[in-house]
């Protein structure tokens, strides 16, 4: 297989993955299997995929930066948890043999597909819970921190611990990470879904960047593929944003979940 064809396929997959992430989430279920299909070893494919998709998380965080207003204390508390967990997951991946990781891949993809499948119900539940607790859909007003100042509360401590655990998964594989983090934040912390979603986006960026920076020194990043995919994911994210009103995220999510299940079955058979 020529390098030119490999880059072309990886580029197309990253554009599709970036668009899917922008519209519904689950882009990794497209990009990672593509890399392994191109003959890249599973561990190296996962590492390359993590490094390549980081720009997309950066764009998503900046897109919700206004909703992070007034949450400085919360972000400073959860930031170390995301960093430590992301690096921990990356370290765990680098110490997983190629054979063992290939054995785990179908389970990871199936788990990620299940997370994507429950994303809408989880968001709906958390939205109703936040509205009920705050007495109205608007909840906490923008710029007002939902967390009390001074001592760290039990809820904040629990959030940090659970985020760190989720971050280990994010650094190890990552598909469906946003669903886990949002569920943790929504169940433990009292705030509006909009503000918690912005924190989730920030943490997803932190976790992936932490793992990606760690991976840069692993000598397992396939750089020519990663660079093309990074550009493709940015383009795909832009395309996805433009198509947001024309394509049903719920329908696209069902398609991606179906693809994920099929791919996991193929891996099981292989």
- pLDDT single digits (tens) 140-177: 444 444 444 557 778 888 889 999 999 999 999 988 88
Residue of 214, 203, 157 lying closest to 180 (CA atoms): 203
Residue 147's pLDDT is 42
**How much of the chain exceeds pLDDT 90, in percent?**
40
> Could you identify the residue written with the tokens 């290939």?
102
Residue 144's pLDDT is 44
Q: Are 31 and 13 in contact (CB under 8 A)?
A: yes
Number of residues in the chain:
270
Is residue 57 scored above 80 in pLDDT? no
Is residue 135 scored above 70 in pLDDT? no
Q: For residues 97-112, give the mean pLDDT.
A: 92
Residue 165's pLDDT is 94
Is residue 58 scored above 80 in pLDDT? no
> Could you identify the residue written with the tokens 């947001």?
244
Is residue 139 scored above 70 in pLDDT? no
pLDDT higher for 24 or 128? 128
User: How many angstroms separate the Cα of 33 from the Cα of each of 10, 55, 127, 261?
Assistant: 10, 20, 33, 12
Instruction: Give residue limits of the domains in the chain.
Output: 3-269
Residue 143's pLDDT is 40
Q: Is the pTM of this model over 0.75?
A: yes
pLDDT higher for 1 or 105? 105
Confidence of residue 119 (pLDDT cuts 50, 70, 90): confident
Rounded to the nearest 10 degrees, the angle between the axes of helix 3-23 and helix 249-269 is: 130
Which tokens in the block code for residue 16? Answer: 């599709």
Residue 244's pLDDT is 65
**How much of the chain exceeds pLDDT 70, in percent?**
92
Q: Which H helix or E strand runs over 146?
A: none
Q: Give 199-256 as a 3 state SS string.
A: HHHHHHHHHHHHHHHHHHCCCCCCHHHHHHHHHHHHHHHHHHHHCCCCCCHHHHHHHH
- When the pLDDT of each residue in the chain is averaged and rounded to a whole number, the result is 85
């Amino acid at each position: 297989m020529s390098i030119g064809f490999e880059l072309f396929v990886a580029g197309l997959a990253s554009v599709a993955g970036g668009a899917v992430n922008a519209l519904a989430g689950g882009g990794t279920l497209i990009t990672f299997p593509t890399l392994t299909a191109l003959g890249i070893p599973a561990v190296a494919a996962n590492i390359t995929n993590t490094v390549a998709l980081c720009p997309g998380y950066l764009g998503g965080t900046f897109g919700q930066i206004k909703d992070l207003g007034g949450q400085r204390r919360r972000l400073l508390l959860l930031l170390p948890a995301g960093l430590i967990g992301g690096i921990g997951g990356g370290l765990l991946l680098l110490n997983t043999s190629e054979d063992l990781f290939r054995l785990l891949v179908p389970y990871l993809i199936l788990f990620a597909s299940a997370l994507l499948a429950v994303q809408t119900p989880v968001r709906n539940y958390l939205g109703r819970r936040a509205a009920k607790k705050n007495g109205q859909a608007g909840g906490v007003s923008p710029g007002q921190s939902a967390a009390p100042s001074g001592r760290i509360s039990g809820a904040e401590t629990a959030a940090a611990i659970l985020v760190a655990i989720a971050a280990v998964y994010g650094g190890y594989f990552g598909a469906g990470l946003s669903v886990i983090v949002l569920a943790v934040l929504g169940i433990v912390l009292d705030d509006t879904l909009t503000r918690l979603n912005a924190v989730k986006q920030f943490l997803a960026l932190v976790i992936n960047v932490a793992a990606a920076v760690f991976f840069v020194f692993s000598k397992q990043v396939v750089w020519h593929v990663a660079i093309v995919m990074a550009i493709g994911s940015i383009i795909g994210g832009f395309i996805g944003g433009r198509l947001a009103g024309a394509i049903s995220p719920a329908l696209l999510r069902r398609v991606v979940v179906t693809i994920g299940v099929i791919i996991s079955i193929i891996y099981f058979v292989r």
